[in-house]
Amino acid sequence: MQKTTSFKLLTFYKFVDIENPEEEVKKQKQYCQDIGMRGRIFIGEEGINAQITCNKGQEQAYRMFLENSLYFKDIPDIDIKAVKVDEHKFPKMIVRYRKEIVALGVVYKAEEILKSKRKLSVDEFKRIMDSGEDKYAILDMRNNYEFKLGHFKNAVPADTISFREVTQFVDKYKEQFAGKEIIMYCTGGIRCEKLSVLLDQHGLPGVYQLDGGVVKYVNSYNDGNWLGNLYTFDDRISSQVGDEKTHRIISRCHFTGEPNEDYHNCRYGPCNAQIIAKPKAYRKHLGFCSEDCAKHAFTDLLIRDVKWDPINYKELRGKIKQNENKREEVTELIQSHLKKWLAGIEFNHKFPLPDVIEVEN
């Protein structure tokens, strides 16, 4: 009988003031590569933000490394937010310096983060969700493409496409949630930690934040309060929450309108829109989200490579760069392939769709 190796996906962060983050990056990078882990770790003046996969031995070694470090002892919630996976969920190990460990456009000191904390435990959040108390407003601080895939019952989207846009919406939140107590949440809690400071500074103080975010809640409770799948920033992208009794699909295929929870990117490079689509329908449309993207791709050949498409577009574009005389030959080859694949295929979207939210609770 073949022995299987179990893996864990660890998602964690810690806000801590680091004097020389570049030096910490070097230490982490060398150690993580030496023990064979995979994932992404960002270290900056604000602290550390990490998503990694590791087997049991790698986990033990890495956690010992953290506990013996100057800055990264006592990482909060590292156990309860851990998820069992069947293999590595990242293609390689990346450890980089980032001035902001989560990009909001401003760097905060650990003291500022601590001062603005108003955390709500998962137990108290569950009590509020189950009671349906009207005095609370549940604000999803993730981006629209994350909200579409799944969210808490009765949650309201932040209406952002990028996290940095939040400052543009503060006045809207003040008006929209007047007279309510706001509870915000994000995937693992890190965005809300920084947002608590920003909202305080922009005249919206006292906003609660779900401690540990969605990950901590769904790892603690399988109660149906979460609808749909969870968008994750690893190879899974779309991760099922709940079981056959509690899981509910709320998203629909971009091409067919049928219930679906698979996430893809539009293969036209300048678009790269994230769409929910059945794999078969996605391949049928060659991965283009709209008629407009297919037409532009036909002209400028800016198409992302995928395993199931036999054409290597990047390599062919490289031939043109090396020898302009190859342009006509390469263009004819690619255009002939596109015509054959898309013959008779109709797109139900003429242009890429704006990231508009239709709330389903």
CB neighbour class for 168 (10 Å; exposed up to 12, middle 13-18, buried from 19): exposed
Cα separation, 17 vs 109, in Å, equals 6
Q: Which two tokens stand for residue 287?
A: 């991965």
Q: Which two tokens stand for residue 306?
A: 């995928």
Residue 24 sits at the vertex; the CA angle it makes with 18 and 25, to the nearest 5 degrees, is: 120
Residues 32, 186, 253, 289: which is the catalytic one?
Answer: 186
> Considering only CA atoms, which of 30, 104, 98, 110 is closest in space to residue 72?
110
Cα separation, 327 vs 60, in Å, equals 53
DSSP-assigned letter for residue 252: B
Q: Which two tokens stand for residue 339?
A: 């015509």
> Considering only CA atoms, which of 219, 243, 211, 228 is closest in space to residue 125?
211
Residues 6 or more apart whose CB falls under 8 angstroms from that of 33 comprise 93
Cα separation, 331 vs 334, in Å, equals 5
Can 186 be counted among the known catalytic residues? yes
DSSP-assigned letter for residue 163: G
Question: Which residues are annotated as catalytic?
Answer: 186
